[in-house]
Amino acid sequence: MGRLITGALALGGPVAYGVVAGQLAHGSFAALGALAIGHLVDPRGRVLLVDDRGQVSRVRQGSRLVGGGAAGLVVTGAAVGGVWLGGRGFGGGAGVVLLAAIAAVIGGFNRWLADATARFITFLVLATGLAGAGVWEVGRWFTLGVLWALLLTLAVQPVVHVPGPAPTYRQLWRRWKGNLTRLEGWRYAIILVPPLAIAMAIGGWWHHERAYWIALAVVIVVRRRGDSLLRATQRCLGTCAGVLIGAALILWVPPSWAIVAVVTVLAGLRPLLKERNYAAYATIMTPLVVLLLDLGRTPDLSTVGYRLIDTVLGCLLAIIPTLVLRRRDVA
């Protein structure tokens, strides 16, 4: 129950503030920040922090939020970088691809970095769609959303200590360097960077306002672990279904209180579905992102059509490397 409450309040609170204060954009940015930091809670509802050796652990409430603060810096940096690079044509797209490639390789160092860099890549691409906003405006409200989510997590979620041996930095470094001499150390970059580069190139050539959804679909479908064709297909179907649901909600033009209620319910369901049904989780996450990105705006039917086309195209691009590597592994 704690997870549901935290998820609902983390996103519903900023949106409610945006409605009351008449600052829907600020509420949207803060809610996206809260959404980005959701990985600090594990499937059992315990707070995940990082210890002094860089390993994910579950610690007492009085300990410093080293992991939380670091994760907040990572996702806020992604948002600021995405806003700055968005709208800069092929140069900005190349910058996004380069940062994603570096993050994909660095993330193989340990579990915490794997998760943090995956969030970084996702929100880097997502924030390119906020290019019309001010860089520091997005960064400021994104940070407030991160802090809001952290405070809720500490207040609502049970926090326990689970002791256990953790590898040293030297051991992690040796393993990471060893992996870089094999395909396994580059697998995530191999299946992510080519389709992401093609997606950014198409977006830069097309010049459509929502073309960043091609790249966003790629980073949603491609995962460091779980590159099976079945999981990738589930994410594709869930993402496309979510786009349609989000479009229906936006085109309906609901009153402000209804938007707050829908965001709160979807955010509350998110952690429950993530561990039970990934396709359903993607179906919930996508309309949630659509609502937050379009908060205060009413796109027309043509924009919704473009977004669906972009999503399908991004999903197809994302599946191709998975198919290629799958055939190689079988052979």
Give domain limits for the chain: 2-323
Which pLDDT score, from 0 to 100, does residue 143 have?
Answer: 93
Percent of the chain with pLDDT over 90: 31
Between 53 and 157, whose confidence is greater?
157
Task: Kindly report the number of other CB atoms within 10 A of residue 62's CB atom.
Answer: 6
Q: Indicate the range of 21-25, 167-171, 194-198 predicted with least confidence.
A: 167-171
Percent of the chain with pLDDT over 70: 79
Which pLDDT score, from 0 to 100, does residue 30 have?
Answer: 95
Between 261 and 154, whose confidence is greater?
261
Which pLDDT score, from 0 to 100, does residue 125 have?
Answer: 95
The string of pLDDT tens digits covering residues 6-20 is: 888 899 999 999 999
Across 187-194, average pLDDT: 92
Which pLDDT score, from 0 to 100, does residue 90 have?
Answer: 86
pLDDT at 315 over 70: yes
pLDDT mean across residues, the chain: 80
DSSP annotation of 55: -
Q: In this structure, what is the dihedral angle of CA atoms 151, 145, 84, 205, given to the nearest 10 degrees?
A: 120
How would you label 15-33 residue by residue, b for 16+ Cβ within 10 Å and e otherwise?
Answer: bbbbbeeeebbbbbbbbbb
Which pLDDT score, from 0 to 100, does residue 230 have?
Answer: 72
**CB-CB contact of 237 with 279 (8 Å):** yes
**CB-CB contact of 267 with 217 (8 Å):** no
Which pLDDT score, from 0 to 100, does residue 327 have?
Answer: 59
Across 47-57, average pLDDT: 41
Q: Indicate the range of 38-42, 115-119, 250-254 predicted with least confidence.
A: 38-42
**CB-CB contact of 28 with 263 (8 Å):** no
Of these ranges, 87-91, 269-273, 298-302, the one predicted with the greatest mean pLDDT is 87-91
pLDDT band at 2 (very low <50, low <70, confident <90, very high): low
The string of pLDDT tens digits covering residues 130-161 is: 877 889 999 999 999 999 988 887 776 555 44
pLDDT at 228 over 70: no
**CB-CB contact of 311 with 210 (8 Å):** no
Which pLDDT score, from 0 to 100, does residue 317 have?
Answer: 93
Which ranges in 107-226 belong to alpha helices (H)?
111-127, 135-156, 169-179, 187-206, 212-221
Across 31-36, average pLDDT: 91
pLDDT band at 219 (very low <50, low <70, confident <90, very high): very high
Contacts of 165 (CB under 8 A, 6+ apart): none
